[in-house]
Amino acid sequence: MEVLKKIEEEDEKKTREDMITITGGVEMDVRHTDGSVERVKVRQIPATKLEEFMTKVANEAVSVSIYCDRPLEWADTLDLSSIGEICNKGMEINESFLNAWCLRRAKWTEMLNVGVIAELQRKLTTLQEVLASVTSAQKLPISTGSPQNR
C-alpha cells in the first residue's frame, strides 16, 4: 500500500514537472505594495539568463526579475510576501536543472584547475632547476691579497 502511494506521488510529480516544462513555468497571483493584484508566470530560467542568475543569486530582486521576465525595478513594487512566493516557486521550478548545472560547472572548474595547477607545477620545477644550477655553479676565485697602491 505504501509503495503504491509512493509510485502515485512520483507519477504526479513527473506530470507536474512535464507541465511546467511544456508551459515554461507556473502562473500565480502576486500582490503589489499598492494593494493591486497581478497574474504573472514564474518561469524556468532561460539559458541566456543563467549566468546572470547564478552570479547574482543572492540578489532576490534579480531573481524575481528573471523568474517573471520583468524589469529589475518591478520587484520594488511587490509586497514582500509576493517576492518570497516568487522566489520559492522559482527555486522549486528550477532546482533540478540548477543542481545539474552546478555539477557540470564544478567539473569544468576542476578540470581547468587541474590544468592550471599542472602548468604551475611545471614552471615551479623549472625554476627550482634553474636556482639549483645557479647555487651549485662553481665560484670564481676572488683574491683580496693583491698589493694596494698607496
137-150 per-position pLDDT tens digit: 656 566 666 666 65
Structural domain including 28 reads 2-97
Residue 37 lies in a domain: yes
Query: What cell numbers appear for 72 in the block?
Result: 529589475
* SS3 (DSSP) at 122: helix
Residue 61 lies in a domain: yes
* SS3 (DSSP) at 33: coil
Into how many domains does the chain fold? 1
Q: For the chain, which residues score pLDDT lower than 70? A: 11-23, 136-150
Residues 23-39 pLDDT 10s: 579 999 999 999 999 99
Residue 34 lies in a domain: yes
Residue 26 lies in a domain: yes
Q: How many CA atoms lie within 13 A of 7 on its CB side?
A: 4
pLDDT for position 133: 79
Residue 25 lies in a domain: yes
Residue 42 lies in a domain: yes
Q: Which positions ≥6 away from 75 have C-beta within 8 Å?
A: 60, 61, 64, 65, 83
Q: How many CA atoms lie within 13 A of 8 on its CB side?
A: 5
Residue 70 lies in a domain: yes
pTM across the whole model: 0.61
Candidates 33, 118, 30, 46; CA nearest to 82 is 30
**Furthest-apart CA pair in the chain: how many Å?**
113
Query: What cell numbers appear for 139 in the block?
Result: 665560484
Residue 105 CA from chain centroid, whole number: 7
